[in-house]
Structure 1
Amino acid sequence: MSSRTLTRPLTRIAVLPAATAAIALSLVAPASAHVTATPSDASAGAFTIATFSVGHGCEGSPTTKVEIQVPESVLSVTPTRNPLYDVEATIEQLDEPQTDAHGNEVTERTSTIVYTARTPLPDGQRDTFELSFQVPDAEGELLSFPTIQTCEKGETAWTQIPADGQDEDELESPAPGFTILAASGEGHHGDEAAHEDEESADGAAEQASDEAPGAEGTAADADDADSGSSALGWAGLVAGLLGLAAGGLALARTRSTT
C-alpha cells in the first residue's frame, strides 16, 4: 500500500472529531445565550439576591427594556439600581391577605420589575440585574421568572416553563429561574440571634461601666490615704527640726552662762 493511499483514511478519521465538535458547539451556543437567574442562596426561606444576566440582543438588535415577572409565591421584591437603566416596580392587590416572614399582614405584592435602558445595550455586550427577595418555603419547586426582552427591533419572550419531567434544554426560550433547595437553618433568624448576642454583650459592657465608678472611688480613697500619710510625714519632719533647733539654743545658753 502506498503512503498516499494510507494518508486518505487518516485524513477522514481526523476530520470526523472536528465535525462532531463543531456540531456540539453549535448546539451549546444558543443555550448559553439564554437569560439566566443565579441566586446567592437557593435555600427555602432564605433571603437571596438573584442576578439576572442578559447576554445578547434580539437577533442582533440592541436591548432597550427588560421586564421581569415575579412569581406569585414571592410577595415582595427589592430591585438593585442600575445607572444605565430606569427601574420601575408594578404593584398588584392580592385576592386574599397573606402573612409575610415577619408576621405582618400583606394585601399587595410586586408583580413585575421593569428596567428601561437609558442607552440601548448593544448586541455584543451583556448586562446584569439584581432582585432581592425571600425564597418561598417550597423545597424542590422550580421558581421561574418569565422575562420579556424588548429590543430596538423586535423582542424575545423568555417565558417558557418546562412541564413536569421535561428538560429545560428542550425549550427554545426558557424562563430564567432556579430550583429551591432544602432550608439551611440559617438566614434572618440567625441574624436576629446574633443581634441578641450583641445586645447582651453591650449590656454586660454597660454593667461593667456602671461598676467602674466604684473602683475609681476605691482608687481615689487610696490616693487620699497616701496624701494623708505624706502630710503626717512632713509634719513629723518639721517638728523634729524645731526640736533640734530648740535643743541647740538651750545648749548655747548653758555654755554662755558657764
Structure 2
Amino acid sequence: MSHRTLARLCVLPAATAAIALSLVAPASAHVGATVSDASAGAYTIATFSVPHGCEASPTTKIEIQIPESVLSVTPTRNPYYDLEATIEQLDEPLTDGHGNEVTERTSSIVYTADTPLPDGQRDTFELSFQVPDAAGETLAFPTIQTCEKGSTDWTQVAAEGQDADELESPAPSFEILPASGEGGHGDEAEESAEQTSEESTDAGSGSAPATEDAAAAPAEDDSSAALGWVGLGAGLLGLLAGGIALARTRSTP
C-alpha cells in the first residue's frame, strides 16, 4: 500500500471525529462559574464565563442572581458594560461575619453591554463575596443571558439525587468545601506569639542551651576573623609572586 493511499484512508476518520466534536461542544458550553476558594467562610472571587450567544445571536445583558445565603457581593467593573446592583430589604435583620446587623442584601447584579458581545467571542464577570458557612451544600447563581434575539435562562438546579449533567440549562454553581483552618492570618499570629513566648522563657530561665549559644557566638566570630586574615595574607603573597615572575619575564632578553 502506497503512502498516498494510506494518507487518504486516515483523512476520513479524522474528519468524522472533527465533525462529531463540533456537534458535541456547544452542548457543554454552558455559562459556568469558577471560584478562587470554595471553603466555607472564605472570601472568594467567582468568575462567571459566557462562552457564546443565544442561538448565534450576540449577548446584550447578563443578570446574575445572588443566593439568599450570600448577603453582600462586590462586582468587578467591566469596561464594555454598564453595571447595576439590585438591593432588597430583609424580612428580619441578620448578623454578618463581623457581628454587624444587616437589614438588606444584594439580590442581583446586572451587566448591560455597551455594544453586544458577538456570538463567537467570550467574556467573564467577577463577583467577590464571603462563602456561607455551609460545607457540603451547593451554591447556585441563576443567570439570565439576554441577546439581540431571544434569551437563555441558566437557572436549572439539580434536585437531590439528580445528576447535574442531565440539566439542559444549569445555573452556575459550586459545592462549598469544609473550612480549611490553615494558612489564616490568625494561625500565623498565634504561632509567632507561641514561638516568641518559648524563646523568652528559655532565655529567662538560664537554661544550658541558651548559655551555650551565647558563649559559642564570640568563638565563632574569632574563628571567622582569623580565617579572613589568613585569606588576605595568602592573596598578598600571590600578588607578590606574580609581580616577581612578571619582572623576570620582562628582564629576560
Question: Which 4+ stretches in 1 moved above 3 angstroms?
Answer: 14-29, 191-198
Tell me which amino acid in the other structure corresponds to 1:30.
Answer: A
Offset at residue 24 of structure 1 (A): 6.6
Describe the shift of the 1:192–1:116 C-alpha distance in structure 2 as closer, same or farther (beyond 3 A).
Answer: farther
Question: Number of residue pairs matched?
Answer: 186
Q: How does 1:86-125 map to 2 (within 5 A)?
A: 86-125=82-121
1:67 aligns with 2:63: yes
Structure 2 unaligned regions, length at least 5: 2-8, 193-253
Tell me which amino acid in the other structure corresponds to 1:132.
Answer: S
CA deviation map 1:136-181 (0-9, x unaligned): 0111111000000000111000000000111111011000010001
If the length of structure 2 is used for normalisation, what is the TM-score? 0.66
Tell me which amino acid in the other structure corresponds to 1:91.
Answer: I
If the length of structure 1 is used for normalisation, what is the TM-score? 0.65
Offset at residue 22 of structure 1 (A): 5.6
1:153 aligns with 2:149: yes
Tell me which amino acid in the other structure corresponds to 1:139.
Answer: A
Q: Name the structure 1 match of 2:172.
A: 176
Offset at residue 184 of structure 1 (A): 1.0
Structure 1 unaligned regions, length at least 5: 4-10, 199-258
Q: What is the distance in 2 between the residues matched to 1:28 and 1:165?
A: 26
Describe the shift of the 1:15–1:156 C-alpha distance in structure 2 as closer, same or farther (beyond 3 A).
Answer: same
Q: Name the structure 1 match of 2:126.
A: 130
Describe the shift of the 1:102–1:178 C-alpha distance in structure 2 as closer, same or farther (beyond 3 A).
Answer: same
Tell me which amino acid in the other structure corresponds to 1:86.
Answer: D
Contact 1:46 1:186 in 2 (8 A): no
CA deviation map 1:204-230 (0-9, x unaligned): xxxxxxxxxxxxxxxxxxxxxxxxxxx
Q: Name the structure 2 match of 1:53.
A: 49
Sequence identity (%)? 73
Q: What is the distance in 2 between the residues matched to 1:164 and 1:175?
A: 15
Tell me which amino acid in the other structure corresponds to 2:90.
Answer: L
CA deviation map 1:102-151 (0-9, x unaligned): 00010100000000000110000000000000000111111000000000
The one of 19, 30, 36 aligned to 1:34: 30
1:85 aligns with 2:81: yes
| Secondary structure at the counterpart of residue 169 of structure 1 | helix
CA deviation map 1:6-40 (0-9, x unaligned): xxxxx8xx988986886576345411x10000000
Q: Which has the larger radius of gyration?
A: 1
| Secondary structure at the counterpart of residue 107 of structure 2 | strand
Q: What is the distance in 2 between the residues matched to 1:195 and 1:121?
A: 47
Q: What is the distance in 2 between the residues matched to 1:195 and 1:113?
A: 37
Tell me which amino acid in the other structure corresponds to 2:134.
Answer: A
| Secondary structure at the counterpart of residue 26 of structure 1 | helix
CA RMSD of aligned residues (A): 2.6
Q: What is the distance in 1 between the residues matched to 2:13 and 2:120?
A: 31
Describe the shift of the 1:127–1:162 C-alpha distance in structure 2 as closer, same or farther (beyond 3 A).
Answer: same
Contact 1:47 1:132 in 2 (8 A): yes
Offset at residue 194 of structure 1 (A): 6.2
The one of 138, 142, 149 aligned to 1:142: 138
